[in-house]
């Protein structure tokens, strides 16, 4: 985690992930040609809700770009497997100096880009220097701001030197687009014809309708089982569900409405693959608005909400109740924190009375137009009413949410999925829309964590942040939602979680089996 990165979190990716709007596509019943494609044993059609606004992951933070192109077309020195672990890919291994400042990567031999250009150490140096260069405009550039030099003493080695220790450097290199390795001769065409070293290569796009990848015949690793992978984009969850049921598509990458899993989970023709994400669905609190300034009021709200009921109703039970800005995959995850504000109406009423609001007060809950928010909103409204807090729900368009809530801080309560990994540093940003009074103290802890020379010290400092923001009831963290992937029952090799922004299809096949190593990394059988 880099403290300097907090400003880009939550807006760049969160807005890019959710802000894309697009025309309705497809019919509930597929055309004969679509069914033929979906039914082919050598091609796959994936249904998805958000189309990429660009093909260039180095200039746009949209997760919809990374879903298709990262790990499938582009690769990194190291990547994340579905279990969230850092694994070598274009590097066969790496060494970290005892002072935490120097990372030495050994490059994999025999790798070529899809256009036939050989991968060289110079290409890796170019790619990392481009990511660091402020003029390049990488959306995650701040995550590599502590890189002081990149060099290649020989054609099989790349050395990265940091200005100070950063125990999250490898994770950041693996998880975000600043880590992709580019062919320097093709960068001019990156927005129209992506070229990488991955198992698939770009073929075509129809804006807001589909993106087509085809197998890369020059791929250095195990050859992909599919000749073609197509992402199809749907404006409506019901239309996408119908497309899977009718055979128009074979996979839904992540159900837009978790409740719809009931359409598939008891049908042997389909399988449900689910696993954790990095998301935190929060009841976000403006800590500077009226009664919400008072700690006891925020604590009362935390006690008044039955998180388990919300997870069961909104998330269909797929996820984990959380009590702070942490998810099970975080190295500093502290499960005991999740029980601090257990549902307790009596305690909520007592705290409100102690805060001077024995007879309650009124609040406005501003909701963006996303299912988890609009479904959870009325439940929270009812639960707060039970302790005397009268909530008015205000539904607004996403663009207005960005301008009024996120940028303008003009809200009292809202519900949002903070989708980015390890984003706890937001609580150290005093300009962030939480208006959290403890931001300076968190900033000090984050700065110390960033420069910690050992992982143990870093983790202890992150846990100190977790305990502080929880004690301060800075927000009400509801649950960490699972990614819910639904597919034809004979599709194997799907990623078993949403811990990466890539929907990695490297091991997907129709029938067959998953390599043992891939299964160990979290790809489904």
Average pLDDT, the chain: 91
- Rounded to whole angstroms, the Cα distance separating 18 from 39 reads 30
Tell me the CA distances in angstroms from 328 to 167, 279, 470, one per residue in order: 18, 11, 16
Cβ atoms of 515 and 222 within 8 Å: the answer is: yes
Q: Model pTM?
A: 0.86
Cβ atoms of 149 and 160 within 8 Å: the answer is: yes
**CATH class, 280-481 region:** alpha beta
Contacts of 479 (CB under 8 A, 6+ apart): 281, 307, 310, 311, 315, 319, 320, 321, 322
Q: How many CB atoms lie within 10 A of CB 364?
A: 14
Q: Residue ranges per domain, the chain?
A: 280-481
- Flag whether pLDDT at 19 surpasses 90: no
Residue 420 has what pLDDT? 84
Average pLDDT over residues 142-163: 95
Q: What is the pLDDT of residues 425-451, one digit of tens each?
A: 999 999 999 999 999 999 999 989 988
Cβ atoms of 73 and 186 within 8 Å: the answer is: no
Q: What is the pLDDT of residues 243-288, one digit of tens each?
A: 999 999 999 999 988 999 999 999 999 999 999 999 999 999 999 9
* Tokens coding 165: 């220790």
Cβ atoms of 385 and 304 within 8 Å: the answer is: no
pLDDT band, very low/low/confident/very high, at 370 (cuts 50, 70, 90): confident
Average pLDDT over residues 347-370: 96
- Rounded to whole angstroms, the Cα distance separating 121 from 128 reads 11
Q: What is the pLDDT of residues 174-213, one digit of tens each?
A: 999 999 999 999 999 999 999 999 999 999 999 999 999 9
- Rounded to whole angstroms, the Cα distance separating 343 from 321 reads 12
CA-closest candidate to residue 307, choices 276, 278, 283:
283
- Rounded to whole angstroms, the Cα distance separating 52 from 62 reads 7
Average pLDDT over residues 305-328: 96
Helices (H), strands (E): how many in the chain? 14, 20
Residue 255 has what pLDDT? 92
Residue 104 has what pLDDT? 98
State the alpha helices, DSSP H only, in 329-477.
Answer: 345-354, 371-385, 398-400, 439-450, 455-471
pLDDT band, very low/low/confident/very high, at 41 (cuts 50, 70, 90): low
Q: Report CA torsion sign: 68, 74, 76, 82.
A: positive
């Amino acid at each position: 985690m880099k403290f300097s990165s907090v400003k880009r979190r939550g807006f760049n990716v969160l807005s890019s992930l959710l802000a894309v709007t697009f025309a309705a596509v497809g019919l509930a019943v597929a055309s004969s040609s679509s069914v033929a494609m979906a039914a082919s044993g050598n091609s796959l059609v994936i249904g998805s809700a958000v189309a990429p606004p660009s093909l260039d992951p180095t200039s746009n933070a949209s997760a919809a770009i990374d879903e298709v192109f990262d790990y499938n077309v582009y690769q990194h020195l190291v990547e994340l497997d579905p279990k969230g672990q850092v694994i070598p890919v274009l590097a066969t291994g790496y060494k970290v100096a005892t002072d935490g400042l120097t990372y030495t990567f050994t490059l994999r031999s025999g790798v070529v880009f899809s256009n036939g250009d050989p991968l060289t150490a110079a290409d890796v140096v170019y790619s990392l220097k481009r990511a660091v260069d402020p003029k390049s405009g990488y959306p995650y550039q701040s995550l590599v701001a502590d890189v002081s030099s990149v060099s290649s003493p020989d054609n099989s080695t790349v050395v990265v030197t940091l200005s100070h220790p950063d125990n999250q450097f490898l994770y950041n290199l693996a998880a975000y687009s600043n880590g992709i390795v580019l062919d320097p001769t093709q960068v001019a065409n990156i927005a129209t014809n992506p070229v990488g070293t991955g198992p698939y290569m770009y073929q075509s796009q129809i804006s807001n309708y589909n993106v087509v990848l085809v197998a890369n015949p020059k791929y250095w690793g195990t050859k992909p089982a599919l000749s073609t992978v197509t992402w199809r984009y749907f404006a409506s969850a019901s239309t996408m569900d119908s497309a899977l049921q009718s055979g128009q598509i074979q996979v839904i990458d992540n159900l837009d409405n978790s409740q719809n899993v009931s359409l598939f989970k008891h049908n042997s023709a389909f399988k449900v693959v689910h696993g954790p994400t990095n998301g935190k669905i929060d009841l976000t609190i403006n800590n500077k608005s009226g009664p919400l300034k008072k700690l006891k009021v925020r604590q009362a709200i935390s006690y008044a909400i039955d998180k388990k009921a919300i997870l069961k109703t909104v998330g269909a039970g797929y996820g984990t109740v959380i009590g702070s800005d942490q998810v099970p995959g975080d190295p500093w995850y502290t499960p005991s924190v999740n029980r601090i504000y257990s549902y307790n109406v009596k305690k909520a009423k007592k705290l409100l009375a102690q805060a001077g609001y024995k007879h309650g007060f009124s609040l406005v809950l501003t909701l963006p137009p996303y299912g988890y928010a609009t479904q959870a909103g009325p439940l929270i409204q009812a639960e707060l009413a039970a302790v005397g807090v009268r909530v008015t729900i205000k539904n607004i368009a996403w663009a207005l949410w960005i301008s009024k809530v996120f940028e303008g801080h003009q809200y009292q309560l809202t519900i949002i999925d903070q989708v980015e990994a390890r984003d706890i540093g937001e609580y150290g940003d005093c300009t962030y829309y939480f208006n959290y009074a403890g931001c300076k103290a968190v900033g000090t802890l984050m700065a110390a964590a960033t420069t910690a020379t050992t992982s143990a010290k870093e983790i202890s400092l992150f846990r100190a942040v977790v305990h502080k923001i929880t004690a301060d009831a800075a927000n009400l963290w509801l649950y960490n939602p699972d990614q819910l992937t639904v597919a034809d029952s004979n599709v194997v090799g799907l990623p078993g979680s949403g811990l990466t922004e890539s929907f990695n299809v490297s091991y997907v096949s129709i029938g067959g089996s998953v390599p043992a190593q891939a299964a160990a990394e979290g790809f489904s059988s």
